[in-house]
A = this chain, B = another copy of it.
Amino acid sequence: MSKKIRVTVWGENVHEHKHAIVRKHYPEGMHSSIAEGLNEAEDIEVTTATLQQAEHGLTEEVLANTDVLTWWGHCAHDDVDDAIVARIQARVWQGMGLLVLHSGHFSKIFKALMGTSCTLRWREAGELERIWVCNPGHPIAQGLNSYFELPEEEMYGEAFGIPAPDEQVFISWFQGGEVFRSGCTWKRGNGKIFYFRPGHETYPTYHIPEVKLVLKNAVRWARPEGSIWIDEAPHITADKAPEKIIPRGGSVH
């Protein structure tokens, strides 16, 4: 019996309570639908956490038992506590995978890991998005054809203010004429990070089979594969040096 991948689906969970259009597509909240899609996989077990919970549902214990965290946020990025962001970032360095979804491009955790502005151009017009696979052999693209389509989505367009991705998995074509780097990977410390563009709150994107498939693939790709490295800055005293040395020179300590 092989161990399941433990996923925590984090949801901002604000639009759902304010806007009927969002509730229509996601009556139990967007996080619940994302979790449901992942739960279709036998090798994945999912829990959810939301902004409104104590410590946003992301206690030390929850994160310590999370292999892959998914992040959807939009209108309440600033309400996420800086201390929780730092905690998540440290877990990513240790090896926890992170899937950043759609408007999560402007979340504190994504900007902190990228070190860049993460800006983009956008339009909300319910237009067709066609997502092309840049590498058909990539683990995250398994089971897809050359492309798949979302009949109604928000447009995100270049320039996208990110560091050069380690790998380009998807690029989007929009009906209105723009393009976007829709699937990008990076590594920070030992954590694998995947940004996936689709998922605007006013469309039923997370119910679309190809989107659910990409998220399942991405969870498998992002799961920790090495060991936990607790970052530290060890002081190696001169007598512990691998080669014999005689300390010399001054010190301020």
Closest to A19 in B: B252
Other-chain residue from B124, B186, B237, B249 in contact with A253 (beta carbon distance below 8 A)? B124
Question: Is there an interface contact between A179 and B188, defined as CB atoms closer than 8 Å?
Answer: no
Residues in B whose Cβ lies below 8 Å from that of A159: 132-136, 146, 229
B95, B136, B147, B189: the one contacting A229 at CB < 8 Å is B136
Segment at the B interface, from A3-11, A45-53, A165-173: A165-173
Once the chains are docked, how many angstroms separate the CA of A248 from the CA of B114? 33
Confirm or deny: A54 has a beta carbon within 8 angstroms of a beta carbon on chain B.
no
Copies of the chain in the assembly: 4
Report which A residues bind B (CB closer than 8 A): 2, 15, 18-19, 21-22, 75, 89-90, 93-95, 106, 112-117, 119-127, 130, 132-139, 141-142, 146-147, 152, 155, 157-161, 163-168, 171-179, 181, 186-190, 201-203, 221, 225-229, 231-238, 240-243, 245-253
Can you name 19 A-B pairs with beta carbons within 8 Å? A19-B252, A112-B112, A120-B233, A123-B240, A123-B241, A124-B247, A126-B248, A126-B250, A127-B245, A132-B159, A132-B178, A134-B181, A135-B190, A163-B186, A164-B166, A175-B243, A176-B241, A177-B241, A178-B241
